[in-house]
Amino acid sequence: MTADVRNKATIERFWSAVNEGDVDAILATFAEGAIARDPVDKPPLETSEQRRAHFAGVLASFKNLSAVPEFTTVCGDHSATKWTLTGSTQNGTEVAIEGIDVARHDSNGLIVELWGYV
């Protein structure tokens, strides 16, 4: 399996886990010691516990969450994904959020760094 295929498969697993609401599966796409800047203008998530709290909070904020990775491109150890999240907040407000995630992957395809642009 080439690095491009491996890295794209990790991104596909990440978005599948988001749609399933599976925080453990989301975290399994990150390498040990990974840093997530999600979004980039917030303090980095440098530990597994911080990433768990972040993703659990995002998932808990929405009812009927749907994450659509519209386009992913991979170049070497980096990937970029344009995505749209839709759903409703806990008080029923319908929302649509668009963004781009850029990731750097290790030799196993796991995410070492993530930059989330919303």
The C-alpha atoms of residue 50 and residue 84 are separated, in whole angstroms, by 23
Average pLDDT for 8-26? 98
Cα 17–Cα 45–Cα 37 angle in degrees, nearest 5: 80
The DSSP H or E segment spanning 7 is helix 3-20
The C-alpha atoms of residue 77 and residue 67 are separated, in whole angstroms, by 23
> What are the start-end ranges of the H helices in 28-106?
48-60
Dump pLDDT digits (tens) for 29-53.
Answer: 999 999 999 999 999 999 999 999 9
Strand partners, 73: 80
Nearest to 7 by CA among 118, 109, 96: 109
For residue 65, what are its two tokens?
């969450």
Dump pLDDT digits (tens) for 52-106.
Answer: 999 999 999 998 999 999 999 999 999 999 999 999 998 999 999 999 999 999 9
pLDDT of residue 1: 83
pLDDT of residue 97: 96
Residue 107 reports pLDDT greater than 90: yes
Single pTM value for the model? 0.95
